[in-house]
Structure 1
Amino acid sequence: MHTMNTYKLLTTLFEYKAWANDTLFSTLAALPPESHEREKHDATRILNHVYVVDRIFEANLQRQPHDYRALNTTATPALADLRAAVRETDRWLLSYADTITEAELAEIVEFTFVDGSAGRMSRGEMLTHLVTHGNYHRGAVGRILSQIGVPPQRDTLTVFLHRPEHLRADPI
């Protein structure tokens, strides 16, 4: 059984996020080719939006500029390319969450939203936003999948925490 303490909660949540992302990408990749093109496109757009927001906040957490001027890209990436990019970002976020200190979590970072307005959040708030934002949009993709007859994803935190030992390999 997996145990969790408060200090490592963010690490666990980012392990979960990476696992849930990968689970969803596997489901999308398994859809028959040449079928449900509109739904696959819509799902990819949603997941690309999550990726873009993750990358924006990755830059914000490091107080670095980013090149995004919108919350999604104009072009829609291929699902396999997006999956690889998401895995890379999930690895970065997991490493960051695993090494951040309590003092750093409380530190306020000022940044600019893509619409030009000023933003001000603690690092802990930013990380929490990324976890909840991803959950929200994975749910939207799950709804799209259910409309084409794909059974609901079993990608909740409880399923992640209680998965069998042989499925506990590196989540990304």
Structure 2
Amino acid sequence: MSVTMLQSLFGQKAWANSELFDVLATVTAEADLHMAIRTLNHIYVVDRIFRAHLLGEAHGYDATNTKATPTLEELRAAVKETDAWFQGYVATLDDAALAQPVQFRFTDGDAGTMSREEILMHVITHGGYHRGNVGQILKNISVAPPRDLLTKYLHVAEPQRRAV
């Protein structure tokens, strides 16, 4: 995969997260909102774990979610910062860096090795999967989830693509 495509995917991830947090800010069903925040917090924690792997640093997590649940606004700010970090990080890479293997330990203690590209794709696909889970929570309480589509993002980010 090209660095350009990864930049688009991480741009879309940040945009989709922002759109989803906007919708969640309107939700008044506390139990459903709590479940959505827990799911988004899981995405955030996994993003932070893999960020640490990419940097060769300890991440400090012993699980893929935290015991305490942040507020929606606390999580939104943390996710925004992490999304910006990934966008900046991807912009510094080239094909050789993407191919580099990274050795790490999963939170259960098992060893793992993935290329930087594989880690980045995991972050993208993992987040998309769980944003879909949150979308289903919203549908179940009759709230329309945002359209989390690459096609929509590309046309929002680059409106000239609509001119044919």
TM-score by length of 2: 0.93
Per the alignment, residue 15 of structure 1 pairs with: 11
SS in 1 for 2:156: coil
User: Is 1:38 the counterpart of 2:31 in the alignment?
Assistant: yes
Q: Distance in 2 between matches of 1:163 and 1:62?
A: 31
Per the alignment, residue 151 of structure 1 pairs with: 144
Change in CA separation of 1:125 and 1:165 when aligned onto 2, cut-off 3 Å: closer
Structure 1 position 16, deviation (Å): 0.3
Map 1:65-144 onto structure 2 (within 5 A).
Answer: 65-144=58-137
Q: Select which of 23, 48, 53 maps to 1:27.
A: 23
Q: Distance in 1 between matches of 2:147 and 2:3?
A: 26
Q: Which amino acid aligns with 1:115?
A: D
- Give a deviation string over 1:61-80, Cα, whole Å, max 9, x none: 01111100000000000000
Between stretches 148-157 and 135-144, larger displacement belongs to 148-157
Question: Gapped runs of 5+ residues in structure 2?
Answer: 160-164
Structure 1 position 118, deviation (Å): 0.3
Structure 1 position 99, deviation (Å): 1.1
Q: Distance in 2 between matches of 1:81 and 1:43?
A: 14
Per the alignment, residue 170 of structure 1 pairs with: none
Structure 1 position 6, deviation (Å): 3.6
Give the share of equivalent positions with the same residue, in percent. Answer: 53
Moved over 6 A (4+): none
Alignment RMSD, CA only? Answer: 1.4
Higher helix share: 2
Q: Distance in 2 between matches of 1:47 and 1:96?
A: 21
Q: Distance in 2 between matches of 1:105 and 1:42?
A: 35
Q: Distance in 2 between matches of 1:165 and 1:150?
A: 28
Between stretches 94-103 and 43-52, larger displacement belongs to 94-103
Q: Select which of 51, 55, 78 maps to 1:58.
A: 51
Q: Distance in 2 between matches of 1:147 and 1:11?
A: 33
Structure 1 position 14, deviation (Å): 0.3
- Give a deviation string over 1:38-61, Cα, whole Å, max 9, x none: 100000000000000000000000
State how many pairs are aligned: 159
Question: Gapped runs of 5+ residues in structure 1?
Answer: 167-172
Per the alignment, residue 162 of structure 2 pairs with: none
Q: Distance in 2 between matches of 1:26 and 1:17?
A: 14
